Chains A and B, each alone.
Chain A
Amino acid sequence: AQKVTQAQTEISVVEKEDVTLDCVYETRDTTYYLFWYKQPPSGELVFLIRRNSFDEQNEISGRYSWNFQKSTSSFNFTITASQVVDSAVYFCALSERVGGTSYGKLTFGQGTILTVHP
């Protein structure tokens, strides 16, 4: 069974600090997909990134960066120079095949609540 663990329940930082959100996953499949979503206080879910298991290149998008390491089954998310608007709940998610056929089953981590103080 697939499993996603976000061990940090809550993180509190001061504006301009860098912060890393950890995500560790378990899967028996060799082909899978990983996602990060953001849920701001307004409640909607906002897509941040999608990564397939064959692409281990790290990615940077503005102040956001992601470190994917298959060797440690981790897909960590770093915010550089955090801002108050980054305050949100962040979810890591894993999609793998069920029964060798479809990727329909999606497993989310418990989420990390990030609070950025001015």
Chain B
Amino acid sequence: EAQVTQNPRYLITVTGKKLTVTCSQNMNHEYMSWYRQDPGLGLRQIYYSMNVEVTDKGDVPEGYKVSRKEKRNFPLILESPSPNQTSLYFCASSQIPQETQYFGPGTRLLVL
């Protein structure tokens, strides 16, 4: 089954404790992207990747890192999480960005 998976689905952590949210797709898509969703702000793009080893900033990249060492995986790294990074995070993929994006189920993060 074609899908985008994210782990964990729910995470509670404390300020400053490094964490990684994994994202994996099984569709051999070249394009992958991370978004955060906050009430009243919609979805905002954090980072995207056009292919392996090719990443670029979206609208809200501060405080986040990404890597794309393999085509299927695109982890989101919070080196030193802060409470303002409490949000719902979505990973998405598509063959090319103009195409329909397939979204993961979301990761709800709470930073205390």
B97 with A109: CB separation less than 8 A: no
Instruction: Tell whether, in the assembled complex, residue A108 and residue B43 are in contact, meaning their CB atoms are under 8 Å apart.
Output: yes
**C-alpha spacing A108/B45, complex, angstroms:** 8
B74 on the interface (CB 8 Å rule)?
no
Whether A110 contacts B42 in the complex (CB less than 8 A), given A45-B90, A104-B33, A104-B48, comes out as yes
Interface residues of A in 61-118 (CB under 8 A from B): 91, 93, 95, 98, 102-111
- The interface centre, meaning the residue of B40, B42, B50, B105 with most chain A CB atoms within 10 A of its CB, is B42
Inter-chain CB contacts under 8 Å: number: 64
Q: Interface extent on B, as a size class?
A: 20 to 34
DSSP class of A's interface residues: helix, strand, loop or mixed? strand
Contact flag A47-B42 (CB < 8 Å), given A104-B31, A104-B48, A107-B59: no
> B112 interface residue, CB < 8 Å from A?
no
List of B residues within 8 angstroms of A105 by Cβ: 45, 48, 56, 58-59, 97
Q: Does B41 contact A (CB under 8 A)?
A: yes
CB of B99 closer than 8 Å to a CB of A: yes
- A interface residues, Cβ below 8 angstroms from B: 6, 9, 33, 35, 37, 43-45, 47, 50, 52, 91, 93, 95, 98, 102-111
